[in-house]
Amino acid sequence: MFLVNFVVEIQKTMVKTPKNIAVIGATGSIGTQTLEIISSHPELYRATVIAAGRRVDDLIALARKHRPALAVIADVNKYSVLLDALEPLGIETAAGEQALCDAVCRDDVDMVVTATVGYSGLAPTIAAIKAGKDIALANKETLVVAGQYITELLAKSKSRVFPVDSEHSAIYQCLDGEDRANVKKLIITASGGPFRKWTAEQMANAKASDALKHPNWSMGAKITIDSATMMNKAFEIIEAKWLFGFDGDQIEAVVHPQSIVHSMVEFTDGAIKAQLGLPDMKLPIAYALGEGKRLPGAEKPLRISDYAALTFERPDIEKFPCLTLAQEAMRRGGNSACVINAANEIAVAAFLDGKIGFNDIYSTIIRTLDAMPYIETPGYADFVATNNEARMFATSII
């Protein structure tokens, strides 16, 4: 079972315009870029719902600009501020996690862009799939936490999933028109992050400000730290497994410091197809919004002659042990990846707060993984419980 169809020809002819989009995580890096694409193409897209976590002032500013039908803030304590600002404009408002889940199911939503960060993406994505909405999936943690569960849910729904993550968008583009039987391997590129050339000793003393300096991509804080530990690449291997339906041992990560080749597919005849572009999320976001249809001018053109060399190297798992957690999570199965995700969220927040060192992120995850009860076939209630317990345990050992 796999989530992304290889042959997208039928889908390409079915794109409804203008398409009504719900952007959850609207105030973030992916969310704001998504809204920029939407507002540049009113003939194609309309933002009917926008939602955020806590930054109510940013959400209000976006609502004033994009005029959605509904704006939702997850933090209920910010609701009165949102209401006071948007009621005079005739924009509906709501607050809380349930409101977020209800918002993505509305009749005036065709596609949901899941641009929230971390575990918070799971519940609204499930609600959207149950309501038959298409998903432009940025929130990879949804598939990390509950890949099997989401896959089964999708099999019973008319929802389709379009990857936003640049590596998965690249693979999706490389697979277009191909027979999956001819696929040998998915090769996911990684920049190597800010610590690629640091020694293990230097990394032990790395500060949050060092880890937040991503060499190529401008992203939210959590994914930037995940890139520095290479946890992001582990998550992307798991994400690829569920999106494209290949075994974990058919998916590998390769370090490509220039971030120009966004990922590759190797075929049984020896051919390798790659998708190249500048490190800019506009293209993959636009490709997902368009259901695999290209949007001219989505990002600045890449002048390939500007690059004297594109280099590739094997990742150093001694220095970046978080990368091994992908295979470990897939080997253990069940609720293991949910535990890893929860412990990682707590550890990353603690590192950003200066409470633990950079290398403690991995040890926090491993200790939590070993301590949590294993559940072989988790349902939604098990994910909620596992997430809560793993977060509590990880917090207790920090």
In the complex, the residues that contact ligand NDP under the rule CB under 6 A are 24-31, 51-55, 74, 100, 115-117, 120, 138-141, 165, 217, 219-220, 222-223, 281
Q: 27 or 166: whose CB is closer to Mg ion? A: 166
Q: Do residues 278 and 258 touch, judged by C-beta distance below 8 A?
A: no
Question: How near is the Cβ of 214 to Mg ion at its closest, in Å?
Answer: 11
Q: Which is nearer to ligand NDP, 84 or 155 (CB)?
A: 84
Q: How far is the CB of 233 from ligand NDP (least distance, A)?
A: 12
Q: Which does 217 bind (CB under 5 to 8 A by kind): Mg ion, ligand NDP, none?
A: ligand NDP
CB of 370 to ligand NDP, least distance (A): 25
Least spacing, CB of residue 78 vs ligand NDP, in Å: 9
Cα 20 to chain center, whole Å?
A: 21
Distance CA 357, CA 279 (A): 29
Measured from the CB atom, is 14 or 91 closer to ligand NDP? Answer: 91
Which listed option, ligand NDP, Mg ion, none, makes contact with residue 28 (CB within 5 to 8 Å by class)? ligand NDP
Tell me, what amino acid is at 88?
P
Helices (H), the chain: 9-12, 29-40, 56-66, 79-86, 97-103, 122-130, 141-155, 166-175, 200-204, 208-211, 221-229, 231-244, 282-289, 325-332, 336-352, 360-371, 380-397
Question: Which amino acid is located at 75 in the chain?
Answer: D
What's the burial of 110, exposed, middle or buried (CB within 10 Å: 0-12/13-18/19+)? middle
- Residue 54 contacts which entry, ligand NDP, Mg ion, none (Cβ below 5-8 A, type-dependent): ligand NDP
User: Of the ranges 121-129, 160-168, 205-213, 365-373, which one interacts with Mg ion (CB under 5 A)?
Assistant: 160-168
- Pick between residue 374 and residue 380 the one whose CB is nearest to ligand NDP: 380
Residue nearest to Mg ion (CB): 165
- For residue 136, give the H/E element and its range: strand 134-137
Closest to ligand NDP by CB, 53 vs 193, is 53
Which region, judged by CB under 5 A, interacts with Mg ion, from 107-115, 123-131, 164-172, 350-358? 164-172
Size of the site for Mg ion (CB under 5 A): 3
Smaller CB separation from ligand NDP, 19 or 78: 78
CB 110 within 8 A of CB 17: no
Contact (Cβ atoms closer than 8 angstroms) between residue 80 and residue 56: no
The CB-of-165 to ligand NDP minimum distance in angstroms stands at 4
Determine contact, residues 166/252, Cβ cutoff 8 Å: no
In the bound complex, what is the minimum distance in angstroms from residue 192's beta carbon to ligand NDP? 16
Q: Which residue's CB atom is positioned nearest to ligand NDP?
A: 28
Write the DSSP string, 196-231: TTS-HHHHHT--HHHHT--SS----HHHHHHHHHTH
CB contact set of 55 (below 8 Å; sequence gap of 6+)? 27
Residue 43 beta carbon to ligand NDP: minimum distance, rounded to whole angstroms: 26
The nearest distance, CB 95 to ligand NDP, in angstroms, is 10
Nearer to Mg ion, 140 or 160 (CB): 140
Q: Among Mg ion, ligand NDP, none, what does residue 52 contact (CB within 5–8 Å per kind)?
A: ligand NDP
Based on C-alpha coordinates, what's the Rg of the chain? 20
Look up residue 132 and give its two tokens. Answer: 């038959």
Binding to Mg ion (CB under 5 A) within 165-184 occurs at 165-167
Q: Contact positions toward Mg ion, by CB under 5 A?
A: 165-167
